[in-house]
Structure 1
Amino acid sequence: MSDIGRTSAVALVGVRGTLVEVEAHLTSQLPTFSIIGLPDTSLGEARERVRSAATVADCPLPSRRITVNLTPASVPKRGSGFDLAIAMAVLAAAGTAPGADRRTVYVGELGLDGRVRPVLGIIPVVLAARDAGVDRVVLPVGNLAEAQAVPGVTLTGVDSLRSAAIDAGADLPAGFVEPVLLPVPSDDTPPPLELADVVGNATGVRAVITAAAGGHHVLLLGPPGAGKTMLAERLPALLPDLDTDAALEVAAVRSVAGHGVRSWTHRPPWEAPHHSASAAALIGGGSAQLRPGAVSRATRGVLFLDEATEFPRVVLDALRQPLEAGRITVHRAGGSAEFPARCQLVLAANPCPCGNAGTVGGPACTCPPSAVRRYLGRLSGPLLDRIDIRVAVARVTTGTLRASDGTAPTTDAARRSIGDARERMRSRLRGTGWTTNADVTGAWLRSDGRAAPGASDLLDRALDLGTLTMRGWDRVMRLAWTIADLDGDDRPDRRHVERALALRMAL
């Protein structure tokens, strides 16, 4: 005599999920419990959690041979989020929960007392279930508020295995179980800052507004106290709100990173790791469970590296590929995972170890030339070539304070200008899959996106002389398009290219 029960679960690798069918087979042989289908250690331990939780829930597992198969077997399955799906498949095979079937995805970790504990990464799990055509997900109540960010799927929150079994038709008396909730992380998002507070830094303000409009990377180089961090911290407030697709992508990464109910946001994220961060902390990593790094947590937002020249060069160079591709694939011995990495990089650095190199009217630099070269050499040429805007931020003096006289625009005024420029970009790039000028390819710039006749003469000459690479040519033209959009012009001309070249070659 044998019986089979089936439910569904989701195997999560990075922020991508694969629908997994959970089959439970009961036979009249020596009582054992085995799980097959490429489970990891924590998933293999589900046997004891499921058995104990089922006993406490008054629906003990039958004393028969239980074989649970997770298919497709070629997909790695990790973590304790399969516990509820395994338990419901066994109860379905035993006839205790006849309503549990493969048309419902179950996710949750079981405690020995029968409670269903929340898990990390619930948003990409629900997204994978929806994309696979599943219209119902049963999940822990502790994940319910977070999962409601995903539209188009029915969610049922359960606090215990008993509740899940009753939901699936089990004839059991209802009982109260205190639900387990995810701890709410501290809200470390900086409040919006006012751009008009910046005084005496007209070039820096113009660079930040241009970067926000076109999605360009920025390097701010200047002495201590010149206002580099102040400028960078005002960039997120200038960026437009995320659309629904972008917000879901951000929420999936934040969910895997453990942000809980605050995974969903319409504002671009902000990440500012300390300069002691390792390459794995920046690009992602881990052992059994791969986690997103700072470059992925900042996707669709800003990654700010303050004191960039204090980062080890190998850590900074790890950003070169994700900045170009917009994605990062993390490989480890146990597998690989792909994370989004489409963010704006903002670097802030001093010009030398003492911070006074090149300053006018301030303390003299005491660093030997070899120390200055070694210090700035941590920003490699290939990395700098990917930075569209590179400006020097000068030390503010009383003269520049008087000259500025509050001329920096307010954050609201700058956002309106940026919004108008973004609307021009969307109209021009409709149907291409690109949304900002920073996304366009060199092929487009030399065909449909050609500048006005004679506008690129300076760039062509620099390319022939070797002072500008082909990638640099493309990036200057993208920047020229953004400047033209901010000015309300239909196509960049020589003036826009000169201003773009000045923003890129200002160091």
Structure 2
Amino acid sequence: MSYAKVLCVGLVGVTGHLVEVEADLAAGLPAVIISGLPDTTLHEARDRVRAAVVNSGQSWPNRRITVNLLPATLPKIGSGFDLAIATALLGGTGELPLAPVDGVALLGELGLDGTVRPVRGILPMVAAAARSGVTQVVVPTTNAAEAAAVPGVRVRAVDTLHRLIAYIRGEGPLLDPPATAPAAEPAVPDLADVSGQALGKRALEIAAAGGHHIALLGPPGAGKTMLAERLPGLLPPLDDDAALEVSALHSIAGVLPPGGPLLRRPPFQAPHHSATVASLVGGGTGLARPGAVSLAHHGVLFLDEAAEFTTRALESLRQPLEKGRVLITRSRGVTEYPARCQLVLAANPCPCAKPAGDQYCECPPTVRRRYRSRLSGPLLDRVDLQVTLPPLRAAELTSTAATSETSSSVAARVATARAAAARRWSGHGWRCNAMVPGPALRQPPWRLPATHTAELRHRLDVGAISARGYDRVLRLAWSIADLDERPRPDGADVGEAIQLRTGDL
């Protein structure tokens, strides 16, 4: 037999595709040709596979070897095809019967000594194999616990190419995934630790209830960073679908904790203000990898000292915030990543940033305007809540009275509000108020009475808010009503939403 075929999985962005790895051995000058749009890493597989096969005690066929990866029009990226290529090649020699791996997806990178090394993105790979009808996969031992999180697939682990060869020949078993103990989750910062700032806490609760973006402005020490770090603790845990999606993104980026279960807590990403556009929205050679906005999917993206980020980096977030996804075009293809996160901006009012506030500011008016203009109008127009925090007073900072609510009590109200919104919008596929399109809120049966929106319409007519801002105020009003467990917003809810949107307190 000079032809053999096994299954593997390739990734384009976060989407996996089943790939057939064909090997044909023919007479001619010894050579290895890999076709099917391989990248540089995959081109180098010929040397890795040859050394691994020889060091696993197998003879290398001195023939013309053609390896084809189907579908040939799909870009193939990475070293995860090594194990499948080696198995197909040995099957093509006729010395290795491939019946035991018929319909089994083989994933893994080969070391020169024949060890099977872990690869990134094993979780979305196994999920894609399951969607394609594959019921069994073979993965590196290090990736086995991660792969086992996908339901409906039997996962077998392998540490060396020699072990896989012995299994195919019926001379030994494969390994089972290790038992995964529940990972000890790090402690979540508690909202009760934040002194004062009742307005900031109220805004944070509304943002959590509706999935809204929020900007926190104010002097140093006012509590902007503390409030932002406590937002993930107010959000509900991720359901199965969201946990699998978030874990898959972290797997592709190579930051998923090894051996642990799916990520159930909303992720929190806080890139430094020197972050590049590629690190924020995704990038890299070939097909792009996910950036911070995608790693924060179903969670929080926190930009501390937002005015210190480059204008280009900040403006690159406008499309992901609006669409909930990132579409990155490269010469080798187009990559799409989900990016439906909550943006939290924190910024000082000016470069000198006096702790006592504006009354001691030493910056000229032109400097203050230039500093604030780094957060452009189009970007801030996509931020639902824009709250200015006052400086803390001594009485608030030194108070010993336990008057501040804990994160758990606020999270309970948020969960109730989110459940109400999910029931209301379930027929439309929207999960929270921030996802509801503006036209839906401006048409029956969800249109609010004219008496409730009179001030809002007036501000739109005089140019105080944009049409986008109009819709975002309506979404905020619905979140406020959900927190109060009322079926519809009233005029007071719309008024509070206007204040939190514009800062006119």
Letter in 2 for 1:398: A
Letter in 1 for 2:290: P
Alignment correspondent of 2:316 = 318
Question: What's the CA shift string for 1:118-173, capped at 9, x where partnerless?
Answer: 101111111111111111111111110111121111111001111122232x2657
Question: What's the CA shift string for 1:288-345, capped at 9, x where partnerless?
Answer: 3522111011110000000001111111111000000000012223333111111000
Alignment correspondent of 1:381 = 377
Q: Distance in 1 between matches of 2:187 and 2:329?
A: 36
Give the alignment partner of residue 439 of structure 2, picking from 430, 433, 443: 443
Alignment correspondent of 1:300 = 298
Q: What is the aligned length?
A: 495
Deviation at 1:465, TM superposition (A): 1.1
SS at 1:431 equivalent: helix
Give the alignment partner of residue 275 of structure 1, picking from 268, 273, 276: 273
Alignment correspondent of 2:121 = 121
Letter in 1 for 2:42: L
Deviation at 1:79, TM superposition (A): 1.3
* Paired residues of 1:254 and 1:263 also in contact (CA < 8 A): no
Give the alignment partner of residue 477 of structure 1, picking from 462, 465, 474: 474
Q: Distance in 1 between matches of 2:55 and 2:171?
A: 12
Distance 1:386 1:434, change over 3 A: same
Q: Distance in 2 between matches of 1:80 and 1:397?
A: 58
Letter in 2 for 1:270: F
Deviation at 1:459, TM superposition (A): 1.1
Question: What's the CA shift string for 1:348-404, capped at 9, x where partnerless?
Answer: 0000111149936xx611101111011000100110000000011110113555899
Alignment correspondent of 1:26 = 25
Alignment correspondent of 2:394 = 398
Q: Distance in 1 between matches of 2:117 and 2:464?
A: 59
Q: Does 1:92 align with 2:69?
A: no
Q: Distance in 1 between matches of 2:39 and 2:157?
A: 26
* Paired residues of 1:217 and 1:346 also in contact (CA < 8 A): yes
* Paired residues of 2:158 and 2:174 also in contact (CA < 8 A): no
Distance 1:403 1:464, change over 3 A: farther
Alignment correspondent of 1:222 = 218
Q: Distance in 1 between matches of 2:45 and 2:100?
A: 19
Give the alignment partner of residue 424 of structure 1, picking from 420, 425, 442: 420
Distance 1:211 1:313, change over 3 A: same
Deviation at 1:52, TM superposition (A): 1.6
Alignment correspondent of 1:456 = 453
Alignment correspondent of 2:289 = 291
* Paired residues of 2:167 and 2:173 also in contact (CA < 8 A): no
Q: Does 1:347 align with 2:357?
A: no
Q: Distance in 1 between matches of 2:208 and 2:250?
A: 22
Give the alignment partner of residue 494 of structure 1, picking from 483, 491, 495: 491
* Paired residues of 2:163 and 2:172 also in contact (CA < 8 A): no
Q: How does 1:31-110 map to 2 (within 5 A)?
A: 31-95=30-94, 96-99=96-99, 103-110=103-110
* Paired residues of 2:36 and 2:73 also in contact (CA < 8 A): yes
Alignment correspondent of 1:7 = 6
Question: What's the CA shift string for 1:219-267, capped at 9, x where partnerless?
Answer: 0000011111111111111110000100011001100111242572100
Distance 1:404 1:481, change over 3 A: farther
Distance 1:502 1:404, change over 3 A: farther
Alignment correspondent of 2:363 = 367
Q: Distance in 1 between matches of 2:10 and 2:253?
A: 16
Which consecutive unaligned segments of at least 5 residues does structure 1 have? 182-186
Q: CA RMSD in A?
A: 2.3
Distance 1:172 1:58, change over 3 A: farther
SS at 1:430 equivalent: helix
Q: Distance in 2 between matches of 1:193 and 1:351?
A: 26
* Paired residues of 2:122 and 2:146 also in contact (CA < 8 A): yes
Point out the more displaced range, 144-153 or 261-270.
261-270
Q: Distance in 2 between matches of 1:137 and 1:175?
A: 11
Distance 1:385 1:140, change over 3 A: same
* Paired residues of 1:30 and 1:64 also in contact (CA < 8 A): yes
Deviation at 1:420, TM superposition (A): 1.0
Q: Distance in 2 between matches of 1:456 and 1:167?
A: 71
Q: Distance in 1 between matches of 2:160 and 2:80?
A: 14
Q: Distance in 1 between matches of 2:72 and 2:474?
A: 49
Deviation at 1:431, TM superposition (A): 2.1
Letter in 2 for 1:495: A
Q: Distance in 2 between matches of 1:323 and 1:217?
A: 9
Distance 1:497 1:358, change over 3 A: farther
Alignment correspondent of 2:15 = 16
Q: How does 1:227-246 map to 2 (within 5 A)?
A: 227-246=223-242
Deviation at 1:494, TM superposition (A): 0.3
Letter in 1 for 2:342: Q
Distance 1:221 1:23, change over 3 A: same
Deviation at 1:406, TM superposition (A): 4.0
* Paired residues of 2:23 and 2:88 also in contact (CA < 8 A): yes
Distance 1:423 1:64, change over 3 A: same
SS at 2:20 equivalent: strand
Question: What's the CA shift string for 1:193-238, capped at 9, x where partnerless?
Answer: 1111222210000011111111000000000111111111111111
Q: Distance in 2 between matches of 1:381 and 1:190?
A: 37
* TM-score normalised by the chain length of structure 2: 0.93
Which consecutive unaligned segments of at least 5 residues does structure 2 have? 179-183
Point out the more displaced range, 404-413 or 48-57.
404-413
Alignment correspondent of 2:181 = none
| Percent of matched pairs sharing the same residue | 51
Q: Distance in 2 between matches of 1:173 and 1:7?
A: 20
* Paired residues of 2:302 and 2:343 also in contact (CA < 8 A): yes
Question: What's the CA shift string for 1:405-461, capped at 9, x where partnerless?
Answer: 543311111011111111111111112111100010112101232224521111111
Distance 1:24 1:269, change over 3 A: same
* Paired residues of 2:42 and 2:78 also in contact (CA < 8 A): yes
* Paired residues of 2:302 and 2:344 also in contact (CA < 8 A): yes
Alignment correspondent of 1:209 = 205
* Paired residues of 1:317 and 1:383 also in contact (CA < 8 A): yes
* Paired residues of 1:5 and 1:101 also in contact (CA < 8 A): no
Distance 1:44 1:16, change over 3 A: same
